[in-house]
Each structure stands twice: as structure tokens, then as C-alpha cells.
Structure 1
Amino acid sequence: MAVATVARSRWTRQRLLRLYTVATGGAAVVVMALTAGHVVETATRYPSMWLMTVLAVLAGGLAFIESPAPGRPQMIVCPTICFTFAILLCWGLGPAIAAQALAVALVRWKLHAPMVDGVKAWGQYTLAFVAAAAVLWLGQPDPFERDGPTNIVTDALTVVGAVAAWLVAYAVLEYGHSVLRGLPARSRGLTHALGNQLLFKASLLLLSPVLAVAAHINVGFLPLIFVPLLAVQRMARLSAERDRAARLDPLTGLANRTGLRAGFRDLLAASRQVSPDGARGPATPSLLMLDLDRFKHVNDTLGHDVGDRLLIAVAQRISAVQPPEAIVARLGGDEFAILLVTDTPEEAERVADTVVHALAEPVRLDRLQIDVTASLGIASYSDGEDFPTLLRHADVAMYEAKQRGDAVATYLARADQNSPERLKLLTDFRDALTARRPEQIAMHYQPQVSLATGETHSVEALLRWCHPVHGPVPTRDLLSVAEHSSVMQQITMRVIDDVTAQLAAWRSDGLAIRASLNVSVRDLYSDALATHLARRLDERDVPPDRIQVEITESALLADPSRVQATVNRIAALGVAVSLDDFGTGYSSLQHLRRLPISEIKIDRSFVSGMADNRDDAAIVRSIVEMARTLGIRTVAEGVENEYTRQLLAEAGCTLIQGWIAAHPMPGPEVVQWLSAAPSYKG
């Protein structure tokens, strides 16, 4: 239904455009016919009119098209009206519109414009001249008659009024035509372009009285006007090029970020326009963000010149498969965006699939064939959103597609890890971390119990944050926004400080227990982790075997050589290393062979499914058996019921961790809990 409505709307608009052209062109022909006799009579009486007409036609040779930037309608810059309006002042309406017709014909031929555009332009000019002629007739039938009475004030006011009437009539006609073409009625691009046209035409029209006076005094002065006109034309061209450059990408010729922003405003205004039947259309702007995969490899291997040619080829392919009203932009580097109006989310997905298909064919550059793949993110406009928000949502979806290995992903608010609220949460946490507020940030410890003896050999240190307004914040939510920022390293250093201090306090109480702490990928890329850990162990006189560092398999996959160097430094301190979330990675056996691993923690996704899933139980038993063979202890995470505990005991698992044993608790409560439960003291 929506597609049919859009098609019907376009068909109606095309009919109205044809009717507009016929109406304005027909009106011009009628006026020309009515004034034909006056044209012939004037041509025989005033030879100077021929010179003015020739100059008007020659001025058409200075015309040029202001290349339309995104969000702006096309504008033809032509200085002929300063001559044709002077003809109106001197010799009347008929000669003026006749000269204008000749000039429009030349301009149409020079710019290769369609005939219908020429007819439309001549019709608009003719009707504007009719409005100006009416004012001249009311003010004084012939203000430039040599032998008639002269009144300086009346003549000046009449001419200014005629200029104003011409501009008003032309503005109304051009505005109506632009709206019929589909440009939003409240578009900034439309009003800006129309304002520029009127300013340029007003300056030409106000030059006409000078030409009219010169024609009555000495026609030899008239050709001199071409010198300032050439300067004005040059300035107008430079201004148009500067405005175009501000909105277009110089490499591909597509819109840039500024042009895309202007296009968003116009598409949004168009989608909000009321249809003739009083109903608003369902169409809303959608933004597709596209990022080329492995483009850096092309630049590094083949050079930036080849990379630029590849970007141009990609831009051409994307533009070729888009709807006519869509705006394609290059945002920088290898990032492109497509802004279009869609009726349903599925329509945006179809456009995205079309782009993916268009890029599937290798790009041929000289004798090279370069495979191009891309990740696309789709975001649809919601009421109240601004352009930066829509752009960010599309960017988030694009990176979601890249992380999942998919070609296309649609933005989902629940999957957005970078919402302003979450970033504000990170700022609040950074402030609390810097101020060292113990009432907000604290370490809790969850016991790990031996399945063989029931004793507690170790604990895992877990970060807890109680926001002063929102209350307890899930650690997973906090780490998801902190792991890609410098706050992650601050968290790790704070955890090392608090855990080593707690181990020292327990040791002074005669409690010998091992504490495990988690570190991130960013920590393993730096020497600061091992250095800081060694310093704190020495300062607090904590034996290295009382602390253990947990790393994840995903961290090992990122950059194995750098991670292995840091892990080896930690092990050289005498600190044990545990491999967390075991079984969720892709190269676990290789890690066990190369790294000094003392413990593996079986991921809770397998442990929790043991009671109901034979495959999970088999996986856990296999991991335990392999670890036993390698002399590595095993810890099962997420043990919450007795049946699972029994299965783990039968499999020979070393330690269990979960609610069946104990919930995480503050450090001082661990001592109280151990006094009432089987404990290990040394």
C-alpha cells in the first residue's frame, strides 16, 4: 500500500509539472502574440533596440550551471535580464520578452538543457516581465521617453517598484515549480538557493536603469557593461564552486558530512509534509553506514593512488544502485553513507543487500582484480532524533555487523553499548575511582571450594560498584563500556591494590588463602601490569603464590605474541595464571601447550547445562580429564545445585565456584564465613 501511494504521488507530481510548463509557456506565447505588433513597430523606429537585443543574447553566453550540491536545487546563473529589463524600460513589454526568448534559446543550446526546461524558463521570465510592466504602466507609461515629462522621484520609485514586482512574481513561480519537483517546501536548501537567485537577479535588474539611460544618451557605452558582467560572472562561479566544495567530497564527488546533514534536514522535512488528502506519509529517513573491509591492506600493499581509485570505483557502484532521491556520501577514509526515505525497515534492508551485491564483483584496476567486501549498518529515524544521533546509531550497527562477520546489521537500542546514559555511567565511575570512595567501589570475594575435601583453598576477587543514584551497577555492564577506554587499566590497578591489601590483612590474621583477579586484553598489552603487581606484592609482603591472574581465551586470540610476553613475566614473579572461560575460544590446546597455565576455569555455559544436557556433561568430563593429564587444576564456575556438584565430583573436578558454596562477600566477611565452614588455614 505504501509503495503504491509513493508511486501514485510521483505520477501526480509529474502531471502537475507538465501542466505547469504548459501553463507558463502558453501564457508566454499569448503575451508574445498580443505584443507582436508593438515589437515590429519598435524595431523599425529604434535601431538601438537591436543592439540591446544582441547584447542580451551574447550575455547568454556567460551562463553556467551551479552544480547542485546535496540538498540544493540546480541553479542556472545567467546575466541576460539586465539587458532585457532595460529593453522593457526603454521600449516596452513585447521587445523585452522577444529578446528574452532569444537569450533563453541560446542558453538552452549552450547548456544542453531539455526543451521543456527552456519553455518553463521563458514562461516564468515572461510572467515576471508582465508583473513589472504593470507597475511601469501604473507609475508612468514611459519613464524613459526622451521628450516626455521627467520626474526624478516618480521615475525612481516606478523602476524600483517594477523590479520588486518582477522579483516577487519570479520567486512565487520558481518556488511553486521547486515544490512540484518534490523539494520540501520548508527545505533550507530550497530557501537558500532561491534566496541566492533573487539576490543575483536583483543586482542585475537594478543595473538595468543605467543601461536604459546609456541607450538614450550614447549606445556606444552599452558594450562596456560586459567588463563588470564578466567580473560578476567570475565571482558568482567562484562562490558556487566554494559552496559546492563545502558540501562535496573532492575525491569521489559524493556528498560529504555537511552535504549529508543538509540532505537529512530536507528529507526529514519532506517526510513530514502533509499529502493533498490531509494525511502524512509513512516514509521516514533511513541511514546506511558502509565501511570497506581490509581497505588498509590495499593502501599498504598497492599504494594510496590505487586506494583512491578503488574508492572512486566503489562510490560509482554505490551510486548506480541507489534510488534517484537517495543521497550517497563519503564520510572520510573508506566510510560511505546512504541517506534515503523508506516506508518500511525491510526496504532499507533491500537497499543494503543491493549494495552488497553490487560490491561482490571484483574491481578491475589496470591488470589487478581487487575483491571488495563491506560491512553495512542500518539506522532508521525515530521522532526527536537529530542527525548526529542517527549517524551514531548507523555507525554502531555497522560495527556490530563487522564484529559478527555479517554483511548487514540493523541498529537495536538494546544492543547499543555506547548510549549517552552508559557513557555518563562510565564518567561517574571514573570519578569514583579517582576519588577512591570505598562506599561506592569495593571488592567482594567468592570462595572456591575443593570437591575432594570441602575446604576453601581460594577466592575470586570481584569488583562491585554502588552508584549513588542508580544503586548497584552490574559489573558486566560497566566493563562493556570501560574495556575500550583508559578506565580499564585504572580498574585493574585498583583491583591489584585492593586485593594485595586484603591478602596482607588475611595473612596478618593467620589466614593463608589464594585470591584470583581478572585482567583485560588492554592490560596484557602493557608491561605496566606485571610491574605494578610486582611492586604491590613487595610493598605488602604478600607471597606471589597467594595471588593468581585470570586471563580469557579471547584475550589470547587478539595478539598472541604480545600477550604471551606479559603472561611469561607474570609467571616469572611466581604468580599463577588461570585460563578463564575455557572452552569458548578457538585454540585452547595451543594455549595450554605454550603458556604457563596453572588452572583452567570451565565456562559456566557448560557447567550449568550438565544436569540436562549430555553433550555439556561430556565436554566437562573431557576438559577435566585433559587437565588432570597435564597436571592442571580445574575450577567449575556457576555451580548452583547439588546434582551438578555430584557430577563434577564424579568427573574429578578440583574446585567449584558458585552459589551452592557461597555468594560473593566483602573481605572481612570471608573470615567469618570460613569460621563456620570447612576452611584451610596455614
Structure 2
Amino acid sequence: MQTRRFRFNRGRGTADVDSVIMVGSGGRLRRLLLSRTVAVLVVVAVLGGLVWSLHGLSARERQRLVQQAEANAAGIVAATVNSHLHAWVRDGVGLSAEGAADLRRDAHQLRQAGRLGGIGIWRLDGTLLFADPPDGAQAITVSPADLARARAGVAWTTAGARVGEQASLRVFLPTHPDGAPEAAHTWLVAVDIPQDPAEGALTSAALRTQITLATMMLLLIGGLLALRRALLRGERRARTDALTGLANHEALVEACAATLPAATVERPAALLLIDLAEFKTINDTLGHLAGDKLLTQIAATLRGLVRAADLVARLGGDEFAVLLTDLPDAAAAQLRAEQLLAALRTATFELEGITLPVDASIGVVLAPRHGEHYLELLQRADVAMYEAKRGHKGTMLYDENRDGHTVDRLQLVGELRRALDRGEFVLHYQPKMALPDRSIYGVEALARWQHPSRGLLPPGEFLPLLESSGLIQPFSKWVVRTAARQAAAWREAGMPLKVAVNLSTRSLLSPALPATVLSIVSGADLPPSLLELEITETALMTNPDLAARVLAQLRARGVEVSIDDFGAGYTSLAFLRVLPITALKIDRSLVSGMLENACDRAVTEAVVDLGHRLGLRVIAEGVETEQLLDALADLGCDRAQGYAIARPMPPAELERWLNDENASEWSGTGSTARQRAGTALELIGRSGKRAQLAPDRQ
């Protein structure tokens, strides 16, 4: 049984518990018991059956008593009265005194035997011929209507006078003696027949049966109604949030099961996921009791902002959901979300005498556009809500391009796992230049994915998914190992190039990182000073204390550490002075605009000066032109990296670039390029052999 109407707890914007329960509480009997309509039908049917049964019992018992009384009365008239009436007709005179005495004697004997309560005989004109007893409470009388019925030849039975403690039935019998013409000699004989005690016992038994049946029926109705009330109370508790009185997660699931199948593209349904901002701060500052009071006030506010057909639910903590049904179009869902958010922001919430501002982030999904099932919609509403929170946009409609949990992404995760196993990842190396003498002192290892069908993919195509899928740890370990082995091979060939490797946040915050890195360096027979780890500001500030401890262990063993993309994050300057780092790497967004933008140049110059004052080397990345190289050198920047020097290359190509007098093919033109090539040749010239990748020693 399903319904499209939701009204809960009598309030607006809430759902009828009975209706929600009908959606999917499980079990046909359970649903029937909980149905209000079925309950009414059962009560009506049972009461109707009870009335019909009682009426039938009474009618049958009365019919039996009447038939018995009529048979007894007919027997008395035939045996006692007719003989006297026959003599009267035969002699042509009225009832003689002797005949009346005989008739009275017979009647007396019948009364003594308990078979007769009284008897009366009338002509059809109303003349009384005989009565016994002649007067008193038990005297029998007739009315003109009775005489009219007798003239029509109709016999009938009514309640008679009581005979002692016994009730009686009065039988009226129009009669005539045998052989006499009916029209000429017809009398009305009325006979009171007392009920036999045995008949009374039967009547009492029938009455007891009726009472028992009625009691059983009423108990059955009461039991069914009590069971229904108990089930409804249990179901209501199971589908109601105890704190706010709103529908809970289970009720929302069942409401979606009822309403989503009817949603169309033209008339969609929408699920809004609401997450309150800074609620933890309120809990920590004012206490959980105050937090609960705030949630109750917010629930009441939300309940008053939606239509009666919509459902507001609390999913737990500070998360709420709103199910909007039968919307006129897709834009209406976004509009309703913005109206809810605006109302929350302007509403007054008071706790402990303090007026608290409330803000929230709302994710919006549409059915069937974004999904047809509750779990699918909830997951995508969560993605949209997270995007709204991250972008400080208040509300956000789901966009599959921002969703890292689509089927395509899952397929890509599987491909990434296989790529690690099959060795499809490769490292390219981008040269890094010392600006004072324009010499190549090292390289940065940059990962590429040699995809079987899509070709060579840059890091932006797979690194975010490696982070979110949990594959970043084994991937980072592979990068460090491969880069260390390559650096060791170059060192053995007479090219002691320092190799820089980027570390993810998860890798940095792993307590096992120092042991892993040092084990790799030792296994590759590489001096730790030839390995540099690049850490982003965001990674550092995720857990500064843990990051500092991990990096301190690495620095103590000679591994160099630099902060990558400096200026794009939010590193605390106070914390910067105590971090165990050796270099700052200026973010490319500052470097690329410093020739055209005075502010970018000023910030770059300030970073260079700051780094030098802290005893750190300063590296500029994203250097695309010779002019930028010269400008950075003028600012005193120590090192540079970018396409103005060379693009990232596989190891063999990098070696050829270093060994080729015509290095301008890769790094530019003119005397500066030849100078860089000459410096590179000096490195190569120390050994007459080409560097080969050393075998894995771990």
C-alpha cells in the first residue's frame, strides 16, 4: 500500500505516520493491522455480524416459542372449547350454566397443570361469551381491531398477562365448531399459554449465548484496536526522531520509496541535504544540552517552511533532509533550497540568553534526473552539499563532473590498481637550474600514466583519484623508490643530480614515512642529500605537529625538504621558522605574472627575501620565458624550474638533452641555452658511459 500524502505529527511539512508506515513496514498482516481504513471496515463488519447474530437468535427463539404456544392453544381449543361450542350450536341455545361450569372446571384444571393462564370467548360482534378468570389483572379483553382481524380469519399471538412468576403468550384463534357454517357461527377464542420453566431455561440459555457472543465480539474488536494502537505507537517511535519530533532516516527512506517512482523530468521530486555550519563550536562552547535545544528550534523552523506534501527529516547530528514532491520544474528545487537557507540565516535562535546566527550548506538533487533511488540520491546530495560547503556557496545543485564517486571513476580506480601492478606508471624528470651560474643541479620527478588505450596521461588525470581511493600510499612509495634508483644510476654514471619527489598529505602524515624513505635510499645506495621531498603548504598545515616530527627525522638523516607551491596556501609564518625545511618553492601563479603585475613581483621579492632571512634557498617554478629567468636572477632567487629551461622528459631523453650540444631544441635558443648545455656537458663528461637504471636492491 502506498500513498503520496505525508503529514506527520499534525504539523506542516511533516508526514502522516500511518501513511509512512504503509509504505514498507513489511508483512501483509502487519500492514493490514496498521491500515486505518481496514480497521474501520473490520469494526463495522464485526459489529454488523454481532447485531445480525443477536437478532437472528432472538427471532428464532421467539418464533419457536410462538409456534409452541400456538400449538398448545390449538390443542386446548380443540379438546376443551370446541365440544361446548358444538353443543351450543346443536341445541340452538346459548352456553348453558352447566356448560359454562364444565368449561370453567376444565380451564381450572388446565391452570392447575400450568398449561393455561386464562381463556376468553367472544362473538365477532364483540359480545363476551365466556372468560376465565372473569376479571382481575389476568382478565382477557379484545379491541375492535382484534375483532376486525378475527373476521378476516387471521390468527395471531401477542404477549399475555403474567401467570405468577411466569410470562405467557396470548394466542387469538378465530374458530367455529365442526360442521357449522363459518360465516354464521364463528367465535374468537383468546388463550393465555404460560411458558414452561424448561422453555424459560432454553430462553435464558439462548440469552446467555447472545451475551457471550456479544462479549466475544466486543473483546475481539477491542483487542484488534489495542493491537493497532500499540503497533502504531511502536512504528511512530521507530520513524520519529526522538529529539526533534521530525521524521527520521527510516521514515525518509519509506517516503522516497513511495514518491520517487511518480517523479518525472517535467514534474520532478527533489532531495535537499542540509548541514549546519559551526554546530560543533556551539556544542563545545555551550554544551550538548544547548546544542539539542538549537536543533529543536531549527527543526521547528524547517517544519514551518515547507508544504504539507513535503517531508522534513533529521538524519542525525546536525544533518537534515527535505523531500520535495511534485515540483513544477527543476529550477523550483534550487529556489526552495535558497529560500530555506535565507530563512535559516534570518531566523532568531536564542540559547542561554544569546542570539545565535545559523548558517548551513544545502546539496540539491533531482529525481529522476540524478537518480531514481534513495541511496543514490542521498550520496549525490552529499556530494553537492560538500561542494556548497567547500565553495562557500550556500546551496549547490549536483554536478556529476564534480563527483568523484561515479561509475566511470570506479572503473578508473580499478584501472589504477592494475596500472600499479603492471608497471604502467613512469617518471619524467624536469631539470632545475641554479640561477647564479645557470647550471643544472637537479631534477624533479613527475609521474605520468602510460595508459594502454588513452596514451600518456598527466598527473591531473589520476592523482586526485589516487588520493581519494587510498592508492596514494603504494603509489608514493613506488615514486620514491623509482626516483631514488634513477638518481643512484645517474650518480654511478658520474651525474650526481639531486632528485625532488612530491609527497601527498597522507604520505607525509604517516609515522612510517621516515623509515620507508630511509630504507629506500639505503637500498638504492643513494646518499640522502641527493633526495629532496617537496611538501605542499596544505599538507603541512593539516597536522603541523606531526608533520614537523616526521620531517625532523628525515632531515636528521640528510634528506632535504622544501615547501612546494609556497604562497598558494596558508602556512603560518611563526610555524615556518621552526619547520625542518631547506627551501621554499614559489607558486607558479606568482611567478608567471610578475613581469606584468607589480603586486606579483612585490610578493615574489618578499618571499625571496623571507626565505633568505630564514636561511632557506628559494626556488621559482613555472618559469616559461628567458625574461622571467633574468628577472628572478635580479631578485636574488636561487633556483628555477620551468619550460624556459626544459620540459619534463623520460630519463633517456634527459640524458641526451644534457649530452647534446644543441640543447636549444629543449631549453631555448641563444648563448644562454648553449651555456646551460655546456654546464650539463661538464656533468656528463665526468663519465664516458650512459647512466643505466640500477636494479631494485630491496
Deviations for 1:249-306, whole angstroms, at most 9, x for unmatched residues?
A: 343332333322332343334444xxxxxxxx83311221111233344555555444
Q: Is 1:254 matched up with 2:284?
A: no
Q: Is 1:343 matched up with 2:328?
A: yes
User: CA–CA distance in 2 between the matches of 1:657 and 1:148?
Assistant: 115
Structure 2 match to 1:413: 400
Structure number, greater radius of gyration? 2
| 1:379 positional shift | 2.1
User: CA–CA distance in 2 between the matches of 1:566 and 1:668?
Assistant: 34
User: CA–CA distance in 1 between the matches of 2:572 and 2:319?
Assistant: 36
User: CA–CA distance in 2 between the matches of 1:242 and 1:431?
Assistant: 51
Amino acid at match of 1:602: I
Q: Is 1:378 matched up with 2:357?
A: no
Indicate how the Cα distance of structure 1 residues 423 and 285 shifts in structure 2: closer, same or farther if over 3 A, else same. Answer: same
Residue 66 of structure 1 contacts residue 75 of structure 1 at CA under 8 Å; is this kept in 2?
Answer: no
| 1:70 positional shift | 7.4
Structure 2 match to 1:426: 413
Q: Which secondary structure does the structure 2 equivalent of 1:218 belong to? A: helix
Match of 2:44 among 67, 70, 81: 81
Q: Is 1:491 matched up with 2:475?
A: yes
Structure 2 match to 1:108: none
User: CA–CA distance in 2 between the matches of 1:305 and 1:613?
Assistant: 53
Structure 2 counterparts to residues 583-598 of structure 1, below 5 A = 583-587=567-571, 589-598=573-582
Q: Which secondary structure does the structure 2 equivalent of 1:585 belong to? A: coil
Structure 2 counterparts to residues 600-679 of structure 1, below 5 A = 600-676=584-660, 677=677, 678-679=679-680
Q: Is 1:544 matched up with 2:528?
A: yes
| 1:459 positional shift | 0.6
User: CA–CA distance in 1 between the matches of 2:328 and 2:457?
Assistant: 39
Structure 2 counterparts to residues 510-549 of structure 1, below 5 A = 510-549=494-533
User: CA–CA distance in 1 between the matches of 2:253 and 2:458?
Assistant: 37
Structure 2 counterparts to residues 387-402 of structure 1, below 5 A = 387-402=374-389
Structure 2 match to 1:574: 558
| 1:588 positional shift | 5.5
Structure 2 match to 1:227: 219
Indicate how the Cα distance of structure 1 residues 553 and 290 shifts in structure 2: closer, same or farther if over 3 A, else same. Answer: same
Residue 433 of structure 2 contacts residue 640 of structure 2 at CA under 8 Å; is this kept in 1?
Answer: yes
* Total equivalences in the alignment: 496
Indicate how the Cα distance of structure 1 residues 145 and 647 shifts in structure 2: closer, same or farther if over 3 A, else same. Answer: farther
Indicate how the Cα distance of structure 1 residues 505 and 269 shifts in structure 2: closer, same or farther if over 3 A, else same. Answer: same
| 1:240 positional shift | 3.1
Q: Which secondary structure does the structure 1 equivalent of 2:364 belong to? A: strand
Amino acid at match of 2:20: A
Structure 1 match to 2:72: none
User: CA–CA distance in 1 between the matches of 2:656 and 2:62?
Assistant: 116
Indicate how the Cα distance of structure 1 residues 563 and 66 shifts in structure 2: closer, same or farther if over 3 A, else same. Answer: closer
Indicate how the Cα distance of structure 1 residues 660 and 526 shifts in structure 2: closer, same or farther if over 3 A, else same. Answer: same
| 1:74 positional shift | 8.1
Structure 2 match to 1:25: none
Residue 639 of structure 1 contacts residue 659 of structure 1 at CA under 8 Å; is this kept in 2?
Answer: yes
Q: Which secondary structure does the structure 1 equivalent of 2:433 belong to? A: strand
| 1:83 positional shift | 4.0
User: CA–CA distance in 1 between the matches of 2:344 and 2:245?
Assistant: 19
Amino acid at match of 1:81: V
Deviations for 1:499-555, whole angstroms, at most 9, x for unmatched residues?
A: 111121111111101011111222222221111112222222211110111111112
User: CA–CA distance in 2 between the matches of 1:364 and 1:144?
Assistant: 69
Structure 2 match to 1:192: none
Match of 1:468 among 443, 452, 466: 452
Amino acid at match of 1:233: L
Residue 443 of structure 2 contacts residue 497 of structure 2 at CA under 8 Å; is this kept in 1?
Answer: yes
User: CA–CA distance in 1 between the matches of 2:316 and 2:446?
Assistant: 42
Indicate how the Cα distance of structure 1 residues 145 and 321 shifts in structure 2: closer, same or farther if over 3 A, else same. Answer: same
User: CA–CA distance in 2 between the matches of 1:416 and 1:637?
Assistant: 30
Q: After the TM superposition, which of the residue ranges 449-458 and 247-256 deviates more from structure 2?
A: 247-256
Amino acid at match of 2:221: L
Q: Which secondary structure does the structure 1 equivalent of 2:220 belong to? A: helix
Structure 2 match to 1:450: 434
| 1:340 positional shift | 0.6
Indicate how the Cα distance of structure 1 residues 234 and 468 shifts in structure 2: closer, same or farther if over 3 A, else same. Answer: farther
User: CA–CA distance in 2 between the matches of 1:554 and 1:462?
Assistant: 19
| 1:215 positional shift | 8.8
Structure 1 match to 2:230: 238
Residue 146 of structure 1 contacts residue 216 of structure 1 at CA under 8 Å; is this kept in 2?
Answer: no
Structure 2 match to 1:69: 20
User: CA–CA distance in 2 between the matches of 1:290 and 1:223?
Assistant: 54
Q: Which secondary structure does the structure 2 equivalent of 1:504 belong to? A: helix
User: CA–CA distance in 1 between the matches of 2:365 and 2:386?
Assistant: 12
Match of 1:331 among 308, 315, 322: 315
| 1:220 positional shift | 4.7
| 1:345 positional shift | 4.8
Q: Which secondary structure does the structure 1 equivalent of 2:577 belong to? A: helix
Structure 1 match to 2:464: 480
Amino acid at match of 1:327: L
Deviations for 1:367-396, whole angstroms, at most 9, x for unmatched residues?
A: 566554322212223447223222122101
Residue 66 of structure 1 contacts residue 237 of structure 1 at CA under 8 Å; is this kept in 2?
Answer: no
Structure 2 match to 1:290: 274
Name the TM-score, length of structure 1 as normaliser. 0.65
Structure 2 counterparts to residues 131-170 of structure 1, below 5 A = 146=60
User: CA–CA distance in 2 between the matches of 1:473 and 1:338?
Assistant: 41
| 1:646 positional shift | 3.4
Structure 2 match to 1:507: 491
Structure 1 match to 2:185: none
Amino acid at match of 1:69: V
User: CA–CA distance in 1 between the matches of 2:296 and 2:258?
Assistant: 26
User: Which runs of 5 or more residues in structure 1 are unaligned?
Assistant: 1-9, 11-64, 93-141, 150-213, 273-280
Q: Which secondary structure does the structure 2 equivalent of 1:665 belong to? A: coil
User: CA–CA distance in 2 between the matches of 1:499 and 1:669?
Assistant: 16
Q: Which secondary structure does the structure 2 equivalent of 1:376 belong to? A: strand
User: Which runs of 5 or more residues in structure 2 are unaligned?
Assistant: 6-15, 24-33, 64-205, 661-676, 687-698
Residue 500 of structure 1 contacts residue 537 of structure 1 at CA under 8 Å; is this kept in 2?
Answer: yes
Identity of aligned residues (%): 35
Computed over aligned residues only, the root mean square deviation of the Cα atoms, in angstroms, reads 3.4
User: CA–CA distance in 1 between the matches of 2:546 and 2:563?
Assistant: 16
Structure 2 match to 1:52: none
Residue 504 of structure 1 contacts residue 542 of structure 1 at CA under 8 Å; is this kept in 2?
Answer: yes
Q: Is 1:561 matched up with 2:545?
A: yes
Structure 2 counterparts to residues 123-138 of structure 1, below 5 A = none
User: CA–CA distance in 2 between the matches of 1:653 and 1:667?
Assistant: 27
| 1:611 positional shift | 4.2
User: CA–CA distance in 1 between the matches of 2:330 and 2:17?
Assistant: 35
Deviations for 1:438-472, whole angstroms, at most 9, x for unmatched residues?
A: 2x112221111233333211111112222334443
Name the TM-score, length of structure 2 as normaliser. 0.64
Deviations for 1:626-673, whole angstroms, at most 9, x for unmatched residues?
A: 334444322222222333333333333332222232221223332222
Amino acid at match of 1:408: T
User: CA–CA distance in 1 between the matches of 2:613 and 2:462?
Assistant: 38
User: CA–CA distance in 2 between the matches of 1:467 and 1:81?
Assistant: 73
Residue 69 of structure 1 contacts residue 255 of structure 1 at CA under 8 Å; is this kept in 2?
Answer: no
